[in-house]
Amino acid sequence: MSVAERFGNNLRRCRKAAGLSQEEVGQRASMHRTQVAAAERGERIPRIDTLLRLAGALEVSPDELLKGIAWRPGRREVGRFLDG
């Protein structure tokens, strides 16, 4: 699963747990609903300011939206995102 897909799944999970529509999250985060939808589908990875707006709109820690996303630094090989 890609970073974008994992973030999108986390965003969708948090939004549904909060009982909010994409439209409501968009309004609360000063974003358009289509931007929220694209992030949920894993089509976009948000910038840090957008991450913070989404977390604030959902009243969750940014950690909740980043669950399962980690970076493994490379020593002799190229670094990569961890899957899981």
- Confirm whether pTM is higher than 0.95: no
pLDDT, tens only, 27-79: 999 999 999 999 999 999 999 999 999 999 999 999 999 999 998 887 777 77
pLDDT for the residue 74: 72
CB contact at 8 A, 74 and 51? no
- For the 3-65 domain, the top CATH level (class) is mainly alpha
pLDDT beyond 90 at 82? no
Reduced to 3 states (helix: H, G, I; strand: E, B; else coil), residue 70 is strand
pLDDT for the residue 84: 63
Is residue 76 classed exposed, middle or buried when 0-12, 13-18 and 19+ CB atoms within 10 A define those classes?
exposed
80 falls in which pLDDT band (50, 70, 90)?
confident
Q: Where along the chain do its domains lie?
A: 3-65
